[in-house]
A and B are shown apart, each in its own frame.
Chain A
Amino acid sequence: MAADRDSMAANDKIRRMVILSVWAVVLLGLPLWWKTTRVYRAELPYESINKWKQWETCKPKFPIRVNVHLSEAEQHQSGNNPTLSDVTQGVIKRVQELNTARGGKGSLLTVEFIPSKPWTGSSDKDITDRASAIPGTYDFYISPSNLTHASIRSQRQGFIQVQTWSTDHIIETIVETSKAVFGSEEKTIRQLLDTNEDTQGVHKVQDQLKTVKYASGYQLTFSLFSGDASNGVREWKMQEVIHAYLAPFIKTMSTVSKFTIESQIQHYASLAFTPQMDYGLQEHYLTPDALPNFINAAEWSLASTVSSLPSLNFLTYVPKPNESPLVIKTGPGAPKSSTNSFLIPRWGGIAILNRDTDRIKEHPELITVKDLEPVMRVFLSQLRDLMGVTDLSTTTQSSSSFPILFHKALNEAPTTWELDNLLRRRSAENLVDSLATISSLAQLVRDTPNMVVLDHIQKDVTEALQDIGRSCEHLSRQEYVEALAASRDGLVKSETAFFDPTMVSMLYFPDEHKYAIYMPLFVPISVPLLMSLLREVKRLKEKKQAQQDKGKDSQSHDNHEDKDDKQE
């Protein structure tokens, strides 16, 4: 009946509205749910990081200026005077030739030779100019003499004596001196910056194994360990010794790192084992392979819990009277170690102090400054090694054809040459380390899509990249102290970003867990939704079909009638 058909149509409409509205909620809710369950991830500057990794943004260059001063004291009558410009140009050409011979990689330490004002002296006492105060600018004074000899003074001055006073000979001597001074540094820096080098474990040079990682501050702890109380030692004059001997080193190194110094005394610090006895010489000795077990770590307290700076420990060990004197040698009758001390890589050094019997009689309870002087000397040389100050004299002996003498500074402090070397190497190290940290941070963020990345991490990374850029620029402008400071800032910021406590990714959940959680929620409700939708679609189709049929019936009916008409 018509009324029924109307009500059914109305019902259909209502039903369709209901289904559509429920589905509308589902469809609107899906993107909302997706957006609100995403973790907050600030965008890291991936392209800049990639560009930096390939050194595209700024390639670190370490320019060095050498002012060449040629002596005018001796003027040969033969008129064969080498002129400054000839010499300088010749040196530049020769250096270029050497670079291309080496494979054309281009040198990182670009040494620039500049002709400077002439010099009227002929020996190194005649060098009256003040040395350059800028790291990276040096002066070479060249004069004739009866043998070829170079002397690198502790300030930024080098004095070269040439036997044959001809342009070629002078050029060769200057080039060789420059190679001797800067060659090993160039090699080290190249190894650092070459991104394909593996610098892990045994690939490291022995020297790099013992050098501590760069930090802007270190804590030095000088400890006195006394075997037992029967030797009567109660105090030592370490404070005076530190002021007297350590001060030049600390002062020179202040542009690189700062130092905090502590000292302590511990009594009854017995060794974990008994040293062997050499009856012939009446002394106790330790073999070199017993030395790694020297520190009785279980009983000697060496770690400082107060400061968070990296610490270096320097131990003075006064053995027990019944174990004195204690020396280091490989066996009875073998020569003993000259300093009775050894260095533990990246940790510090240990010196065994055998007190003089006369001194013990005088004042048994006090270790005087005179006792401690050789010990401090040893500690200073160990400190140089630990800090990474390269001793230029040891690296150059084999390669030069004439003697090159390196002057030392007071009390083992780094000379300016060594300090500049350290500045450049540490800057390069810091750049490489901070870039490695940032790129592994970026890799980590990319690998864990469900880890939160907060804004301050993005800020730290951007600022670290800016610091790296600043440092690189300072390097190219020969401002090495500023470059080290900027690279230090970059390193600190990149480490802060990497070790941020919020960077812990969500724990791993296998996909089965995710399905197990979502399925009981969504499957039961989805069945009626889907079924009702399918039913509506089926009903619509049937209705359309029915309408079509009705239309066809009426058409065929008409046709049929026509046909009948025709037939009649």
Chain B
Amino acid sequence: MKPTSILKYFAASICIATTLAISVTTNKDDVEGFFAKNKSKSGHTNNWAVLVCTSRFWFNYRHIANTLSMYRTVKRLGIPDSNIIMMLADDVACNSRNIFPATVYNNRGRHLDLYGENVEVDYRGYEVTVENFIRLLTGRVAKETPRSKRLLTDDQSNILIFMTGHGGEEFLKFQDAEEISAHDLGDAFQQMYEKKRYNEILFMIDTCQANTMYSKIHSPNIVATGSSKLNESSYSHHDDPDIGVAVIDRFTYYVLEVLEKVNMQSKATLKDLFDTYDYNLLQSTPGVRSDLFFRPLDEVLLTDFFGNVQNVELTESKEVNNSLTETDPALIDSEPMFIEDPQAEIASSPKQSASWIQEQSHTFEIGNPDQSQTWRYVAFAVLSVAMGSALIAGSSLV
């Protein structure tokens, strides 16, 4: 074989390798432009919640229980059913394996039936699909969709989005048949931002490798929290020997422990919630992403997202005889600024191990993205060289 032809083939394979590698590198989006423009304080006048359980089958009982527990919390704190969209991919209450039919419990003691009364499930069973979820978020539902299945938010709505199920690196599995990727979620949120369909969003996700799911969000005013980082699983908390399956996940369990102490007048903030995250209890590293959120987390009340506390305005009478000294309506900002928070102990709960808390800084939780890029380059180079040499080998044989 002439050395020039070897060189020629080598050059060809290098060209192929670089074109392939270039095509798969992702350009980091330049999000710098957003930040300077948008500095928001909470200007919301209504609250919505979207609670999604994506798993089906009996052994995923705990995911249904997670979602129903969140539903109960959100209702207790004041969000009406018309503003809650709950998606449950399976019906475990009426599953034939449930020895306590028509009930769903989230703890072994079975103190509280989550499926008892006054529960409105908007999307159930096979209606919980990736397409329906994205249509719900972007508002592009079919024309005959009833009002209870639409997300009728406006630019002054704060939305809580809670998702639970089985997930992996930048994807979340729906119904064991399809998956939604972090890019799709980021695109959906971007469309919501373009159409001014939200004021602020709290995105909470409890799955394996949950923190990767919010890595591709690039719209402003979104704070995200997940239960575990890349290559880490999220674990269930405990199971009920009578029911036979695990009944609640760790992350949701410990978040609920904080939320159960919150009432409608509570002054507890998101920072208080995030400070209670503890690796020893959760056995996974939860993450918080707040670089796209412009209020500091210690000023964001939990009731801004989990409750329905609104600014009301007292109406004062105007004098009837057209005089000029008409009183303005007394504007009272009813954010409960002067009620002492009785739950102050949330903030001062002892933190058991402080070292890993550094990971809750306001940056991504995924692995080093540049590192995976290099591996992509290398992989494709090797692949193309292999193809090239196959060609060479083939030609030399003939």
Contacts and interface: CB of A to CB of B under 8 A. Distances in A.
Interface of A: 198, 200-204, 206, 209-210, 213, 272, 288-293, 295, 297-298, 302-303, 305, 308, 328, 337-339, 341-347, 349, 378, 381-382, 385, 391, 393-394, 397, 403-408, 436-437, 440, 443-444, 448, 498-505, 507-508, 510-512, 515, 523, 527, 530-531, 534-535
Contact of A437 (B42, B195, B264): B195
Contacts of B154: 213, 346
Contact of B395 (A200, A407, A534): A534
Contact of B328 (A341, A378, A394): A394
A279 to B, nearest CB: 22
A338 B319 CA distance: 11
B202 interface: no
B37 A198 contact: yes
A223 B329 CA distance: 23
A323 B237 CA distance: 45
A346 B181 CA distance: 35
A407 B321 CA distance: 9
B324 A405 contact: yes
B398 interface: yes
Interface residues of B, number: 78
Contacts of B312: 288, 291-292, 342-345
B339 A289 contact: yes
B118 A305 contact: no
Contact of A397 (B23, B46, B316, B324): B324
A501 B195 contact: no
B146 interface: yes
Contact of B315 (A295, A343, A391, A403): A343
Nearest to A206: B331
A298 B194 contact: no
B196 interface: yes
Given A291-B334, A297-B78, A200 B311 contact: no
B45 A345 contact: yes
Q: Would you list the 3 A-B pairs with minimal beta carbon distance, nearest first? A: A201-B43, A303-B82, A297-B80
A504 B138 contact: yes
B183 to A, nearest CB: 4
Interface in B303-357: 308-318, 322, 324, 326, 328-329, 331-332, 334-339
A50 B52 CA distance: 39
A345 B118 contact: no
A276 B328 CA distance: 27
Nearest to B75: A298
Interface in B154-206: 154-156, 180-181, 183-184, 187, 191, 194-196, 199
Nearest to A443: B194
6 contacts: A289-B339, A292-B312, A295-B78, A345-B45, A508-B183, A510-B24
Contacts of B322: 405-408
B315 A289 contact: no
B42 A201 contact: yes
B25 to A, nearest CB: 9
Nearest to A290: B265
Interface in B126-166: 130-131, 134-135, 138-143, 146-148, 154-156
B194 A531 contact: no
A417 to B, nearest CB: 14
Contacts of A381: 315, 318
Nearest to A351: B315
A381 B328 CA distance: 12
Interface string B66-78: 0000000001101
B146 A202 contact: no
A500 B82 CA distance: 23
B390 interface: yes
Given A200-B196, A345-B310, A531 B41 contact: no
B141 A501 contact: yes
Contacts of A397: 324
Interface centre among B313, B331, B338, B390 (most CB of A within 10 A): B313
B374 interface: no
A295 B46 CA distance: 13
Given A305-B147, A394-B326, A535-B398, 18 more contacts: A288-B334, A292-B311, A293-B264, A293-B309, A297-B78, A303-B80, A303-B81, A343-B312, A344-B45, A345-B313, A347-B46, A405-B322, A444-B194, A500-B140, A501-B143, A503-B140, A504-B140, A510-B24
Nearest to A391: B326
Contacts of B130: 507
Contact of B45 (A346, A405, A408): A346
A288 B314 contact: yes
A440 B134 contact: no
Contacts of A209: 43, 45, 156, 311
Contacts of A534: 395
Contact of B79 (A297, A343, A498): A297
Interface in B363-398: 387, 390-391, 394-395, 398
A200 B194 contact: no
B391 A342 contact: no
Contacts of B138: 504
Interface string B29-50: 0000000011011111110000
A347 B44 CA distance: 12
A338 B317 CA distance: 6
Contacts of B309: 292-293
Nearest to A408: B322
Nearest to B183: A508
Contacts of B118: 298
Max chain B C-beta neighbours (<10 A), residue from A295, A341, A503, A508: A508
